[in-house]
């Protein structure tokens, strides 16, 4: 937002929704399709409350038609009185719609496949059937006073003419949102930008997007979709979903807080991301990935000497995210052979010892030599520093006794 | 590449290097800056050989100036006679350059920070100093007959005029590659496209890129950089590096094989990705992330009934990656309450049992009801199917005895 933030929205994008996006979290729908997910009602309620507390705008739930229990769960979550609006995700069938509108949801997310692949191998319907079914279902849901979204599955492998036809049709009858889905996770950012911008220029309703992560582009595609005028992003906690999942809410927040810091920090409780991820990770029995944005164990760990030096002078040099925004702290990894004397100096100060810069350079060299031989723990480094400090103190006393001796002469390995 | 692949390079990008990119793997340099990394020489050699076998174009090593051991390691790896070219990564200092050229490397990757942040808080030098140092180091490395790359750190927070000045200067004196680095991991794809395209139009040398993953966009940024005319992408196995790392080679290959399948499959041994990742994961003591592209445990697992049905008819419906390209197999997760009768039918056939579609719909319903109550194992589902099959067989025998009875009348819960 500020003129000095090179990662702020591109000023030439007048259609950009980067600083006013909304989140539709689908942990309780897409996430339920994750291989390891089995959510009891109790756990679904825990997750829904945590999402609501974090501040997601919408919570999407598994279709009430999926099973008897699924229906009871939708009804139970609607009765919690959360601030987040509740949606359920149904096939484009009147039967599903009739069940959905009776559950107490705020809105219904309708989907159908429009790619040749899905038309041939999934439902076997043609575009005129799809259009007719869409109109019937949308008008029915609207007649009940609920929000309705109409989404195509596998949009990026669908014919652009088919897409524009169906989206402009449902737009005219007053759909609230249309959904564009990269169901197989193959889209790339500029392709996303072009498709969304084209569709945006043809409809007046809002655009929701759903990006799978098979090729590692889900977060970037979501960001680029906002630049092109989409407003709603589907996320899951840790990205859990079919195959390797969709846009993870934590990584997405990392992306957005860099580009629209005021908006994101005022709207979402970023310091709850860690708890939210831990809750879901425990329920679906996975570990937080070591390289997870924000909460990966080393996301704020700096190791190389040149990095540590600059971070100690000003954290922004090597940090685009501020760990305190997420209730976390940074860590300077000084116990290794890539360490530098600035990192060791910081450690010496933490240990409340007095050494000159020259002395610190000598002890840093000793630490690096030891680090060449084996992995170092913090206690190893502390021992080396303390031993060096004790010896230097002795040397200084001896030197004071014999003023002709120059202690500095022993320190030639400084680099 | 083929006209029917919507994920192929954009035909309007005449500068795109998507179908002719090269990989500079930095697991043994950037990866050594990962919090958990301590590489012995023996392990460095194992990793270098595995990277070479996979087919990376370049292997980048930690500066020989980092420690005595680091220098010996560079020399040892250069002596292995790998097909991959060997680079080492040094500060823009004549001292470092003099050491580097004596190690036996094929090329030297020189870097210096050009952002205000790094100029103030890291090395404290101005642009005219940087330019002078760059020219001296590049001319020296070239005089030794080695490849040389000159890279700015934190390029996206550097002044565009400074960048163009320094890049055109080093281009004129014959640098082989210039490097553009998102050192803090804050760049987004369209920003990458614009910066790289601008620089590409000002220089004749090739462009290398280095993307950190703090905001989850590293793979997408790398892909977009290729679209804008960059040719070389820095990767690490599992993306390990400072903080949460850089472009992971596995996820990057997932991205590239979708867009340039012939090129990628003919050049890189994709079926070695799993072994390469397992090797490095074991050495740095991390788990493969559950949601890792390609090798995450569920990357090719399909769960929802509607997905399973279509995958059974044609895997491309819900798969943009083919697991067999990576020496892996897909898995239809049928033991859960979101299952559908097509998935159960496939299981019935695997069990070599005979049931009609109507019968399979009944038993599917029983499985879904059980799945509402508790998590199901494969053996649970198999027991339900086998019990049902045995009972139906009895019913059929009974029905044959009493032809007035209609076994179908008992099956009303089909949906």
Span A278-295, average pLDDT: 93
Closest CA to A61 of A209, A53, A41: A41
Q: Residues B284, B286, B287, B290: is their CA dihedral positive or negative? A: negative
Could you give the percent of chain B with pLDDT greater than 70? 95
Q: Is the pLDDT of residue B104 over 70?
A: yes
Cβ pair A291:B290 closer than 8 A: no
Nearest-angstrom CA–CA distance, B400 and A381: 84
Q: Is the pLDDT of residue B372 over 70?
A: yes
Alpha helices in A144-188 (DSSP H): 160-172
> Which chain B residues contact residue A259 at CB under 8 A?
188
Are B7 and A296 a contacting pair at CB < 8 A?
no
- pLDDT tens for B56-81 read 999 999 999 999 999 999 999 999 99
Lowest-confidence region among A268-272, A353-357, A411-415, B281-285: A411-415
Q: Which residue of A has its CA nearest to B115?
A: A317
If you search the block for the tokens 């052979």, which residue do you land on? A337
- Token pair listed for A179: 């959904």
What chain A holds in terms of domains, given with CATH numbers, is 18-284 (3.20.20.70), 301-401 (no CATH)
Contact A284, A240 (CB under 8 A): yes
Q: Which residue has the higher pLDDT, A254 or B373?
A: A254
Closest chain B CA to residue A156: B6
Whether the pLDDT of residue A403 is over 90: the answer is no
Report the candidate in B99, B37, B47, B89 with the shortest Cα–Cα distance to residue A371. B37
Nearest to A66 among B290, B313, B337 (CB): B337
Report CA torsion sign: B257, A211, A224, A166.
positive
On the question of pLDDT at B152 being above 90, the answer is yes
Q: Which helix (H) or strand (E) holds B210?
A: strand B206-211
Q: Which of A34, A157, A338 sits opposite B32 (nearest CB)?
A: A338
Mean pLDDT over B396-409 rounds to 52
Q: What is the rounded average pLDDT of the residues A97-110?
A: 98
Quote the pLDDT of residue A406. Answer: 42
Average pLDDT, chain A: 90
pLDDT band per the 50, 70, 90 thresholds, residue B18: very high
Q: ipTM of the predicted structure? A: 0.87
Chain mean pLDDT for chain B: 90
Residues of A in contact with B373 (CB under 8 A): 69
Residue B33 scores a pLDDT above 80: yes
- The pLDDT value recorded for residue A267 is 98
Does residue B224 have a pLDDT over 70? yes
pLDDT digits (tens, 9 = 90+) for B181-215: 999 999 999 999 999 999 999 999 999 999 999 99
Inform me whether the pLDDT recorded for B403 exceeds 60. no
Q: Quick count: other Cβ atoms within 10 Å of Cβ B114?
A: 25
pLDDT in tens, B232-258: 999 999 999 999 999 999 999 999 999
Distance CA B298, CA A37 (A): 11
d(CA B73, CA B50): 16
**Residue B212: both structure tokens together:** 């950190």
Residues A309, B252: C-beta atoms closer than 8 Å: no
Number of Cβ within a 10 Å radius of residue B143: 9
- CB distance B188–A255 less than 8 Å? yes
Instruction: Give the nearest partner residue to B35 out of A186, A303, A320, using CB atoms.
Output: A303
Q: What is the pLDDT of residues B312-354, one digit of tens each?
A: 888 888 889 999 999 988 888 887 888 888 888 888 888 888 9
pLDDT value of residue A2: 42
State pTM to two decimals. Answer: 0.88
Q: Per-residue pLDDT averaged across A251-277, rounded?
A: 97
- Report pLDDT for B117: 77
Q: What is the DSSP letter of A11?
A: T
Position B373 pLDDT exceeds 90? no
| Residue of B344, B292, B187 whose CA lies nearest to A216 | B292
Q: What pLDDT, on a 0 to 100 scale, did the predictor assign at position B175?
A: 98
Size of interface A-B (CB pairs under 8 A): 297
DSSP string, A323-368: GGGGT---EE--SSTT--HHHHHHHHHHTT----HHHHHHHHHHHH
**Better-predicted residue by pLDDT, A375 or A87:** A87
Binning pLDDT at 50, 70 and 90, where does residue B399 land?
low
Q: For residues A294 and A284, give the distance between their C-alpha atoms in angstroms, rounded to a whole number.
A: 20
The residue in chain B having the minimum alpha-carbon distance to the alpha carbon of residue A364 is B67
Segment holding B98, helix H or strand E: helix B94-101
pLDDT tens-place string over residues A335-373: 788 888 888 888 888 888 899 999 999 999 999 888 888
**What span, in angstroms and rounded, lies between the C-alpha atoms of A311 and B355?**
67
Residue percentage of chain A with pLDDT more than 70: 95
More confident residue, B206 or A405: B206
- B303 compared with A130, residue with greater pLDDT: A130
Task: State the pLDDT at residue B408.
Answer: 37
């Amino acid at each position: 937002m500020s003129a000095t933030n090179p990662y702020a929205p591109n000023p030439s994008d007048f259609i950009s929704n980067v600083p006013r996006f909304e989140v539709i979290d689908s942990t309780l729908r897409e996430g339920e399709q994750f291989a390891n997910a089995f959510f009891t009602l109790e756990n679904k309620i825990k997750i829904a409350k945590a999402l609501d507390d974090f501040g997601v705008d919408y919570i999407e739930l598994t279709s009430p038609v999926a099973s008897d229990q699924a229906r009871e769960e939708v009804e139970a979550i609607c009765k919690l009185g959360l601030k987040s609006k509740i949606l359920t995700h149904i096939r484009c069938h009147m039967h599903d719609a009739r069940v959905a509108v009776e559950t107490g949801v705020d809105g219904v997310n309708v989907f159908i496949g429009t790619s040749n692949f899905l038309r041939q191998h999934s439902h076997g319907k043609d575009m005129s059937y799809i259009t007719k079914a869409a109109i019937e279902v949308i008008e029915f849901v609207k007649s009940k006073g609920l929000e309705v979204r109409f989404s195509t599955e596998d949009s990026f492998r669908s014919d652009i003419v088919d897409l524009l036809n169906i989206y402009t049709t449902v737009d005219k009858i007053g759909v609230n949102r249309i959904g564009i889905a990269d169901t197989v996770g193959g889209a790339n950012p500029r392709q996303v930008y072009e498709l969304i911008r084209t569709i945006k220029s043809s409809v007046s309703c809002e655009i929701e997007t759903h990006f799978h992560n098979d090729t590692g582009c889900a977060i970037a595609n979501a960001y680029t979709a906002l630049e092109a005028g989409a407003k709603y992003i589907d996320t899951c906690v840790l990205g859990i979903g079919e195959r390797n999942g969709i846009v993870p809410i934590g990584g997405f927040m990392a992306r957005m807080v860099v580009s629209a810091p005021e908006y994101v920090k005022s709207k979402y409780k970023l310091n709850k991301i860690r708890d939210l991820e831990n809750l879901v990770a425990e329920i679906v029995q996975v570990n937080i990935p070591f390289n997870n944005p924000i909460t990966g164990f080393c996301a704020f760990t700096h190791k190389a000497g040149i990095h540590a030096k600059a971070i100690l002078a000003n954290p922004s040099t090597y940090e685009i995210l501020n760990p305190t925004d997420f209730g976390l702290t940074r860590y300077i990894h000084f116990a290794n052979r890539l360490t530098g004397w600035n990192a060791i100096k910081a450690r010496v100060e933490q240990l409340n010892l007095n050494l000159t810069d020259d002395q610190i350079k000598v002890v840093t060299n000793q630490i690096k030599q030891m680090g060449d031989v084996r992995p170092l723990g913090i206690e190893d480094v502390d021992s080396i520093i303390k031993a060096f400090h004790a010896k230097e103190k002795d040397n200084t006393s001896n030197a004071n006794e014999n003023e002709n001796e120059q202690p500095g002469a022993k320190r030639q390995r400084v680099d």
